[in-house]
Amino acid sequence: MPRSMRGTRLAAVLASVLLLCGAVAACGSGSDSATGTSTAGPGAAAPDSGAFPVTIEHKYGSVTIPAEPKRIVTVGLTDQDSVLALGAVPVGTTEWLGGYKGAIGPWATAKLGAGAVPAVLKDTGTGPQVEKIASLAPDLILSLYSGLTKDQYETLSKIAPVVAQPKEYPDYGVPWQRQTEIIGRALGKEAEAKKLVEDVEAKFTATKAEHPEFAGATAVMATPYEGIFVYGPEDNRSRILSSLGFTLPAGLDQAIGDEFGANISKERTDLLDTGAIVWIVSDPATDAAKLHKDKLYGDLDVVKQGREVFVKETGDYGNAISFVSVLSLPYTLDRLAPQLAAAVDGSPATEVTEPAS
């Protein structure tokens, strides 16, 4: 579509949204515009007293949220989980993994309750679907786990207040704790968000206590994408390992740079010779065989001593291990910890099996 026509169409959509808000107060009603159902999830708590207005700093400046948001759209790929955990149901979510109604994974569906399933937005590489977002009449747009550009931020800001990614982390690099806390502030539920974070961190602590063998062992996450792609220290997948007590391989940060991950050269295959390596793959058996044919990798001790963990990327477990949210992490830890324990137990004969479900 020519740019001029897109601009005219967007202006018309924005105008209709303003009319909708003025005529039926949809922008602050907390009701789905199509069904009239509440966007509050089960057991939703009231916002903290005096929480609004609240100003939140982000990569492109700051944004002020004047009152409790009722119609939330999540542009960040995992932001919906924090919203759901805090007792609200977004009117729109952005699809990343695919295959889930409302872009809500099985680890989070219980939080939906009787709320309407969110409309699903898609980002095919050209940025957020601005017109569809505008048609949802949001009063808050969340884009924390994202690569939102300044131009995209400014465009979305014409529709509603936008909380962009924090400036202190790379794009797609906000830790799940900060993500939850910032969204908690945006929803006026800072204390509740803090408690959610503490509960998940307590599960990490308990898992570490059950597996003292994790402490100090090296580990890394990787995927066979265009060669070998390794996740760096600023990626949430790597942070799972660090939070369990593992140490990332020395030199990984230099090899990755300031990105969340990068392809490594054949000369840096040594980075994979760790106490355990978690491979996120399309097919565990097929991809393992392909990797082992590479002599540089196949001859490493991590392979010879059976310290590999293979996770199918398209299953619920594989999706959860990449999602890394306040709701997906307990689901992930229940499955990943036993696999890691088998990988680092010191016996090559111990099989690292896939979770039953």
* Rg (alpha carbons) of the chain, rounded to whole number: 22
Type and span of the H or E element at 221? strand 219-223
At residue 82, the pLDDT reads 98
> In the predicted model, is pLDDT for residue 127 greater than 50?
yes
* Strand 229-231 with 219-223, pairing: antiparallel
Cα separation, 36 vs 26, in Å, equals: 10
Axis crossing angle, helix 328-343 with helix 236-243, rounded to the nearest 10: 60
Cα separation, 301 vs 276, in Å, equals: 10
Per residue in 182-196, pLDDT tens?
Answer: 999 999 999 999 999
Per residue in 235-262, pLDDT tens?
Answer: 999 999 999 999 999 999 898 888 889 9
Concatenate the DSSP letters of all residues of 269-312 into one string: GGGG-SSEEEEEES-HHHHHHHHHHSHHHHTSHHHHTT-EEEEE
Per the structure block, which two tokens stand in for 11?
């202006």
Share of the chain above pLDDT 90, in %: 80
Classify the C-alpha dihedral 90-95-96-102 as positive or negative.
positive
At residue 43, the pLDDT reads 62
Per residue in 7-63, pLDDT tens?
Answer: 333 333 344 344 434 333 333 333 343 433 336 666 667 888 888 999 999 999 999
Per residue in 160-173, pLDDT tens?
Answer: 999 999 999 999 99
At residue 196, the pLDDT reads 98
Axis crossing angle, helix 176-186 with helix 190-210, rounded to the nearest 10: 160
At residue 41, the pLDDT reads 66
- State the amino acid at position 153 in one-letter form: Y
Mean pLDDT of 122-135: 93
